[in-house]
Chains A and B, each alone.
Chain A
């Protein structure tokens, strides 16, 4: 029964842990009931604990998934929808798409379009106005609006690997700093508690009386002797002592 899961665990790297057989079997499982389009797949589900668990879970949420949830009243308010649109527009302008559009507009203004048609972008009220302002812009609009050709399978596969690699690396980045952040925060907390404890201990024991553990610089004075003490250097100089 765990054969399929065994296969999936062997596939490391960025591939999903669900094996191909399980994926084929689960395609026929619908949230509104268990479809039996393919008897072979159902046999797999009966033999595979992983798929059986998924099917049981699907049957449990089938009732909820079959009903469309009712939207809150707030979402139906025009003001909220406008703010959502504005937020989406701002995000798009500040994101990669907005940068691309800005660059494309600059190239057109400098090269293909005649002076005054974009009027240095000053006379254009909206993107649509710019698009319909000239045949060249109409061509550009047509280029933008047409359905792009499907990417090559190997290109799409590369993009997919890149996206998954990015997700994995982001997880790693998130995990590591969080770990160090926790350790650093813990060490800082211990240090602060230790300092407070030591300060409280000495403050409690000695009060404000200066002692050698305080940071105050001790005052050191000199008292002059009238004869040399018995130190090796003096003996080497003077020889015998009186």
Chain B
């Protein structure tokens, strides 16, 4: 494993993304889209049935709400487009207790955390955390380089003065 690889690892804290809730109401699916406590209006909704055919489409209202008839079958797919961002499709299953999941944290093309070297991980002995030798060597080189510069530039001046 190279230090460059470690640098490629993201440390970003999880971002708060919009949430969608789903509920059954008299044969309809009622959804609400919020971000924080605020409703998300004008979001494009597309619903696909179990066979993958477009079943319904529309936009959320100013209150973040939208509704469509319950599609036939055990499950259906909902896609949201908010501004220019398209959320990962959500598969909703109809259960006796209502739609599952009833609440979803939207994700937008999940980013991978890290890249795995093509040859897999090195043997344990070769991957003891950060390689401490190269920064040590680099620091040593810097110290010696600085010393050489001091000798080169200040040495003659000291002799001449």
Q: Are the chains A and B members of one assembly?
A: no
